[in-house]
Chain A
Amino acid sequence: MLACHPAKMLSFNRLISDGDLVIVYEKHDSMKAVTVCEGSVLQNRFGVFKHSDWIGKPFGSKVFSSKGGFVHLLAPTPELWTMVLNHRTQILYIADISFVIMYLEVVPGCVVLESGTGSGSLTTSLARAVAPSGHVNTFDFHEQRAESARADFERTGLSSLVTVKVRDIQGEGFPDDFSGMADSVFLDLPQPWLAIPSAAKVLRNDGTFCSFSPCIEQVQRTCETLRTHFTDIRTFEILLRTYEVRQEKMQSSREDGNDSNGSLPSKRRQCSDGSYVLGSCPSISSVMARPCGEARGHTGYLTFARVKCVS
């Protein structure tokens, strides 16, 4: 997924080959991760697609099924991965993820500790941010989830940047060998306050901390516990509002020819199917935007803090 080797870089010349992970794009909300395998086929409502037709085409190509339907084949990115991964738990989405990485000040070379791993949605973006020289150590107490996450990082080509371990972080804290080593700690746990003393121990001077919790009661306890070792404690909520864009025709209230704005696109006027018998009321075509009707109303609260600096 990442261009850890310059040869892996996205390029005009990079062609899809056997074994590549591609994101099959049907629509904005309908995508699927597929590992290309000579001889395999993908079947969806648009027909049957032969993988062998994909090999040798550039990423971003439109490919056709036996029935003439099409999909696009995209190169994977952490954003696309978050939209297609297997949900084994609740996951973080782009708005929270982006803000977490910026606010934790994660940059290449950083060492980040995370718990729990969950479905690895955040981990994937953390790995991108610390690459090429940093590392993400992620812990989940659920053996199977850890195993599936490991398999996913193998598939997305991130395994050299991420280590998944099985551990009860609320019970045992982070391993002692990380003492004073972490640039940032991220928690997405049911009782994050239990892991805070350990987080303070593993963080370097001025290191950054973040905890994600859906409920305000969790935030309340987290903040109370943070005050002992942390400063700069701030809690946020971030949401995204998306917009739909349409070109619409509306009838002008004015008689034809009186429009001083001169914004009448004449070609739009004649493309009606004959229903515009009232030729004296011209229609105006314009591109308009409005917020989408439904949106996520809440994901969770993000609480950030910084280890107190002892100098």
Chain B
Amino acid sequence: MSESNSSSSRVTWEGCSVLLDINDGDRLVFARLSPAAKLKIGNKNCSLQPLIGRAFGTVFQVDTAPNGPYLSPAQVNVNNAEEIGDGQGNNEMDKVNVNNAAQARDGEVNVESRDNRALVDNNTAQSLTGEDIEAMRRQGARGNEIIEALIANSATFEKKTSFSQEKYRLKKQKKYAPKVLMRRPVARSICEAYFKKYPSKIGFLRVDTLSLLLSMANVSSNSDILVVDMVGGLLTGAVAERLGGTGFVCNSYFGQAPYSMDIVRIFNLSDEICKRILRSPISDLLPKESPEQVLEHDVCNVESQSNDQTSALASMDEISHSSENGISDIGIENTEPAIEIRKAPKAGERPQKEIIDSWRENGFSSLIVAAPELDAWTLVRDLLPLLANSAPFAIYHQYLQPLATCMHNLQLEKMAIGLQISEPWLREYQVLPSRTHPCMQMSAFGGYILSGTKICNSTANSSSNRTVLL
């Protein structure tokens, strides 16, 4: 496997895009690695240079050196079975604490003898002051040593239940020994990061819903997938990732201006894969007969639709502003734009005439729509004829009603069969000895999908199964 900039590489390279997960998802940052790129963690500015040439999945910690803070890989002891976990994943605890961790585990199996009846929170429990900690730092103490000192000087730590001890340790670790987990930016991690920090940008499309769209539309190598992606390019990128440099994903749009697909650049898609992402106005894809007429009508739809939805859009904007700080698009974190330009994949070219002709002649293999701002029925009515016969399709929407109307009309017009509206429900569990239960927080809503299969528009026929059955 080559170490070059391919989507399958497990080692980073200069110019590569990464997802940095700081303190178990407290902060999620997309960054492009370059020697000049810097990231602020807590109050320290760290160069991202040490991340280049490292394996994805590596956890880094902030160390202090005479010439400033720097990121270095945290020790991971593979054979250490004593690691304590919070059951929510991302539980890279430091191995300096092995002894304490082992104790904590012993204490938590089945019988917990301590409880919190004697605990009084009066702010005097900690005898170390802020100045003491600063002094330790100046003498080169590492984050873990500071945490141990805080525990040793805590009057209440010993009285805490092991569960609260873990929580205490985690809280201090986040503050004094932040961890940076370097993740591979793929459909899963990108979708989860946006859903957590900036969901309006991706139309509140949850990762399980995205996964269903890809299966329901039978996204597979060598197919030509028609998409309407008003979720920032997440859908286009996810489809391209599944095509692996074969077939085409046609990112289509109404009117003159293509929809944003910024998110595509966050994926580390190889040039081969990027070439397979094409962008085309829908009017170019329609049959040549009177395209003008159809297009006008579509533009009208879009306009009236967006008027209807102004209030909904306004409320989504607020969400995005309030949570914008947590996540950064690549480029924002990048202090060296030159590198970014050099590496920026050339996704989204206009398809050549021969390709459009072949789509016209054969039809697309499937259709996926994630367009919160467009009317589902008019969209599907216009795009379904562009699909090959027996092609599956999947339409995402945050609201049920537009899909219900669309499904009903498709049934009346006998354009498709196997129609189904489904809503995924996803629940995560905490799994720990004697403490297994569903997580206290869950996403209560991942959107709706209308799926089905296009059938040949057969000439009207009089007989029906019902008459036969009678």
Partner-B contacts on A (CB < 8 A): 2-6, 9-14, 25-26, 28, 45-47, 58-62, 64, 67-70, 72-75, 77-79, 94-95, 97-99, 101-103, 105, 107-110, 125, 128-129, 131-133, 204-206, 216, 219-220, 223-224, 227-229, 231-243, 245, 247, 287-289, 291, 301, 303, 306-311
Cβ contact within 8 Å between B431 and A219: yes
Cβ contact within 8 Å between A132 and B246: yes
Q: Give me 9 A-to-B residue pairs in the complex whose CB atoms sit less than 8 angstroms apart, sorted by A's number.
A: A58-B390, A73-B390, A223-B431, A231-B89, A233-B91, A236-B426, A242-B421, A242-B422, A287-B408
User: Considering residues A79, A128, A204, A242, which has the most beta carbons from chain B within 10 angstroms of its beta carbon?
Assistant: A79
Per a CB cutoff under 8 Å, which of B215, B428, B448 touches A94? B215
Per a CB cutoff under 8 Å, which of B57, B88, B188, B389 touches A309? B57
| In the complex, chain A residues whose CB is within 8 Å of the CB of B243 | 108
Q: Which 4 residue pairs of A and B lie closest in terms of their CB atoms, listed nearest first?
A: A108-B244, A60-B389, A309-B57, A102-B211
Cβ contact within 8 Å between A98 and B363: no
- Distance in angstroms from B150 CB to nearest chain A CB is 25
- Distance in angstroms from A159 CB to nearest chain B CB is 16
Cβ contact within 8 Å between B215 and A125: yes
Q: Which of B78-86, B170-178, B313-321 contacts A (4 or more CB under 8 A)?
A: B78-86
Cβ contact within 8 Å between B8 and A224: no
- Distance in angstroms from A84 CB to nearest chain B CB is 12
Cβ contact within 8 Å between B361 and A12: yes
Cβ contact within 8 Å between B78 and A308: yes
Bound state CA distance, A243 and B420, in angstroms? 7
Contact with A along B58-102 (1 / 0, CB 8 A): 110000000000000100101111010101111110000000000
Per a CB cutoff under 8 Å, which of A69, A239, A243 touches B400? A243
- Distance in angstroms from A192 CB to nearest chain B CB is 13
B208 within 8 A of A: yes
- Smallest CB-CB separation from A1: which chain B residue? B220
- The number of inter-chain residue pairs (CB within 8 angstroms) is 274
Bound state CA distance, A132 and B431, in angstroms? 37
Bound state CA distance, A295 and B390, in angstroms? 27
Per a CB cutoff under 8 Å, which of A59, A69, A288, A303 touches B431? A303
Cβ contact within 8 Å between A238 and B208: yes
Per a CB cutoff under 8 Å, which of A5, A108, A247, A310 touches B78? A310
B380 within 8 A of A: no
Cβ contact within 8 Å between A241 and B423: yes
Cβ contact within 8 Å between B241 and A311: no
Contact with A along B188-209 (1 / 0, CB 8 A): 1000000000000000000110
B136 within 8 A of A: no
Cβ contact within 8 Å between A109 and B8: yes
- Smallest CB-CB separation from B408: which chain A residue? A287
Per a CB cutoff under 8 Å, which of A28, A204, A236, A288 touches B420? A28
Cβ contact within 8 Å between B456 and A60: yes
| In the complex, chain A residues whose CB is within 8 Å of the CB of B464 | 70
B398 within 8 A of A: no
| In the complex, chain B residues whose CB is within 8 Å of the CB of A58 | 389-390, 456
Bound state CA distance, A303 and B42, in angstroms? 33
- Smallest CB-CB separation from A22: which chain B residue? B390
Cβ contact within 8 Å between A107 and B8: yes
- Distance in angstroms from A57 CB to nearest chain B CB is 8
Bound state CA distance, A60 and B366, in angstroms? 13
